[in-house]
Amino acid sequence: MQADAQRESFALVFGGSRGIGRAAAERLSVSGLTAVITYRSDATAAQDVVMTIRNNGGRAHALQVDVRDESAVRTVFRSVAVMDGVLQTVVYSAGITSDGLLATMSADSWASVLDTNLTGAFYVARQSVKAMRKTGGSIVLVSSTSGISGQPGQGNYSASKGGINALTQSLAKEVAGLGIRVNAVAPGFTDTDMLRRMDAKARAEYAAHIPLGRMGEPQEIAHAIAFLAGPQSSYITGQVLAVDGGITA
């Protein structure tokens, strides 16, 4: 897909106010794309991302959305459409955890994770296809190694990310003829707020099992996202790229 050189090209990053989403927005802005990040509640963090990108010479905007709300997701895409540019890339990095053993997990814990991580991705992917059907583009969904190999205590999270992987493959086949590529990045243990909430001893034990001997950095995942979003990966679609220090090797 070649965007009109006279029109602005956008990267819409859901969950772009923190962690991997923030790193992806900053990385994509370096490529010349205008980063439109979404956030659920932390407006201060979102504005910090916007100002960081602008201070580095890029262009950025922030929009609030609850990805579990289908109409709110549609509103985000309408907001980007009126900016009068080309939506080149959509990244879905919104996600939550609510860990616990399946036998004692509440229905609310199950539903909240699936609604955010998987149903939200469905809403976003569907609107992305509608927005890109005439121009082509790239959709990158953020999965997890927990979706490749389910982890104990993460039945809801692993199921949601396994669903992301299957959604990636299915949708890629549906929309390839429209010039839309769909891929996923499956990070391993990455130094984000979500991981820092784990017990320090547990984090150290997990890191000891990573072949490269350390956890990943958000920027390393962002580079993979930018690769899958950009022209260097123009013949890649329907793939789940593990970026995990070798833990799934």
The tokens of 146 are what? Answer: 């927990």
Q: Which of 39, 92, 123, 157 is catalytic?
A: 157
Residue 246: strand, helix, or coil: coil
Please say whether the dihedral angle defined by the alpha carbons of residues 45, 49, 55 and 60, taken in this order, is positive or negative. negative
What residues does 137 pair with on adjacent strands? 180
Whether 157 is catalytic? yes
CB 98 within 8 A of CB 109: yes
Cα separation, 165 vs 169, in Å, equals: 7
Q: Nearest-5° angle of CA 53, CA 196, CA 42? A: 45
Query: Which residue, 110, 116, 119, 111, is CA-closest to 95?
Result: 116
Q: Name which of 201, 96, 110 is nearest 144 in CA terms.
A: 96
3-state secondary structure of 146: helix
Q: How far apart are the first and last CA of the chain?
A: 33
Q: Which helix (H) or strand (E) holds 157?
A: helix 155-175
Determine the Cα–Cα distance for residues 113 and 157; give it in Å rounded to an integer: 6
Q: Cβ neighbours of residue 110 under 8 Å, at least 6 residues apart? A: 155, 156
Is 72 strand, coil or helix?
Answer: helix
Residues annotated catalytic, as ranges:
157
